[in-house]
Chain A
Amino acid sequence: MILGFSTATYTSTTLVDEFFRAAIDWDWTITQAYYHATIEAYGGHEDTIKAVIVADTLEQYNNDHLWGQGYVAPDEYPDDDTIWYAEWTCSG
């Protein structure tokens, strides 16, 4: 999975802290932890900041956890040349 942004953004230690807190302490999926972290880090800003998550399969998008924190979906085989892309505004 790839976690990133489609706009310019700010440096934020909150982003990292909240991501790992949700993914490890609360066992949230990577998608859920990343959404939560982007809101915690940038929700108070007025700029348009958009976060992006890319997964190879729908099962990975819905269910992947960090290793040891829950279910991890298998690698896709054979490759079907498609990805799953979600984008949301985390400040505006």
Chain B
Amino acid sequence: MYRSLKLVFVVGTLLIFTMFLSHAITQDGKIITGTKGSFSEVKLNVALPESPEKLPLYRIVDVERDSYASKDFMKLSGSVPSEEESRRLALEFLEKRGQLPDGLTPKVVEVVKLREVNVKTNDTLQELPVAVNLIFGKVVNGYPVTGPKADRIAILVGGKGNITYYSKLWYEIERNNDTAILPAENAFEKLKRGEVLNRMKAVPKTLKISEVKLGYYVGKDQKYYIPAWLFYGEDEIGNRIVLMVDARR
């Protein structure tokens, strides 16, 4: 009984912590504290691109959800296929299921490993593959679609090449009116003021921008894809951070 209460307490506390604070803890235990979504310093390490006068808006006309999960996904199941073979198996699975959509683009392919670690020496005693984790996103006319409710397909390929988990969120869209686009220079000024679509609470003090491009943003309960300037940077430990600014004038 004590153990179950302890478990519920730990899970609940961590989820609430994540929900409200979103401070990241690195593997060496360092806590990255944020400054409520604004930066002390933003460095632009790339020339800002020219802005098109207009971009089309896309209206969401239907939402497609599809999913599958085996009893044993994310459990140890022996050796797993290579990343390349897993990508082939994932695409074959989608095609057979009649769920291979236009505009699909690979975002993540990695072997998820379970490591046994000695907490006193920090040595890894053994490392076992669990599954190959694949995430696909969507591109519309060359522009990536991103955001908390953006189109995506996630697949896990487990032992013997079996698809053990699959989750799809995809929108049917239709082209709507064009909208005037804010120049990238103006969007960068908005970024420096913290006027972003995705407010990450635990942001690095210094953000180095290495790529800027246009895309579409999809948030909760949106009826349209919103054009957005995407600013790609890295945090202090080299993880990619993408901040988005509404690109509509």
Are A and B part of the same complex? yes
Q: Which of B4, B108, B119 contacts A67 (CB 8 A)?
A: B4
Q: A21 on the interface (CB 8 Å rule)?
A: no
The residue on B at minimum CB distance from A75 is B3
A92 touches B240 (CB 8 A): yes
Contact B149 A44 (CB under 8 A): yes
Distance A76 CA – B18 CA, assembled complex (angstroms): 27
Q: Give every chain A residue within 8 A of B204 (Cβ-Cβ).
A: 8
Q: 1/0 per position for B53-78, CB-CB distance to A under 8 A?
A: 00000000000000001000111100
Taking the complex as formed, is A25 at the interface, i.e. its CB lies under 8 A from any CB of chain B? no
What distance in Å separates the Cβ of A46 from its nearest Cβ neighbour in chain B? Answer: 4
Q: List 18 A-B contacts (CB under 8 A).
A: A3-B15, A4-B14, A7-B235, A10-B22, A15-B18, A16-B19, A36-B165, A39-B154, A44-B137, A44-B150, A44-B169, A45-B146, A45-B147, A46-B240, A48-B239, A82-B117, A84-B115, A86-B112
**Minimum C-beta distance from B214 to chain A (A):** 13
Residues of A within 8 A of B (CB): 1-16, 19, 28-32, 35-36, 39-48, 50, 58, 61-62, 64, 66-67, 72, 74-75, 81-92
CB atoms of A46 and B242 under 8 A apart: yes
Residues of B with C-beta under 8 A to A40: 167
A81 engages B135 (CB within 8 Å):
no
Selected from A15, A43, A91, the residue in CB contact (under 8 A) with B15 is A15
Determine which of B112, B147, B156 lies in contact with A44 in the assembled complex, contact meaning CB atoms within 8 Å.
Answer: B147
Counting chain A CB atoms within 10 Å of each CB, the highest count among B11, B108, B137 belongs to: B11
Per the bound structure, the CA–CA distance linking A17 and B17 in Å amounts to 14
Interchain nearest-CB distance for B206 vs A (Å):
13
A78 to B: closest C-beta gap in Å: 14
Contacts of B145 in A (CB 8 A): 44
Nearest-neighbour CB distance to chain B for A6, whole angstroms, equals 6
Let me know if B152 and A11 touch, CB within 8 A: no
Q: Does B46 contact A (CB under 8 A)?
A: no
Instruction: Determine the chain A residues whose CB is within 8 A of the CB of B200 once the complex forms.
Output: 8-10, 47
With A2-B10, A47-B240 known as contacts, the answer to whether A8 contacts B203 (CB < 8 A) is yes
Q: Nearest residue in B to A22 (C-beta to C-beta)? A: B69
Shortest CB distance B43–A (Å): 18
Asked whether, in the complex, the Cβ of A8 is within 8 Å of the Cβ of B202, the reply is yes
| Nearest CB in chain A: distance from B193 CB, A | 19
Given contacts A47-B242, A66-B8, whether A15 and B19 have CB atoms under 8 Å apart is yes
Q: Mark contacts of B7-42 with chain A using CB atoms, 8 A cut-off: 1 yes-contact digit, 0 otherwise.
A: 110110011101110111111000010100000000
In the complex, which residue of chain A has the Cβ closest to the Cβ of B120?
A81
Across the interface, which residues of A come within 8 angstroms of B19, CB to CB? 11-13, 15-16
CB distance from A72 to the nearest CB of B (A): 6
**Nearest CB on A from B242, distance (A):** 4
Structural contact, B202 and A46, CB atoms closer than 8 A: no
Residue B92 CB within 8 A of the other chain: no
Known: A46-B232, A67-B8. 17 other contacts (CB 8 A): A6-B26, A8-B203, A9-B18, A19-B15, A40-B167, A43-B135, A44-B218, A45-B148, A46-B107, A46-B242, A48-B241, A81-B119, A82-B125, A83-B116, A85-B117, A89-B133, A91-B108
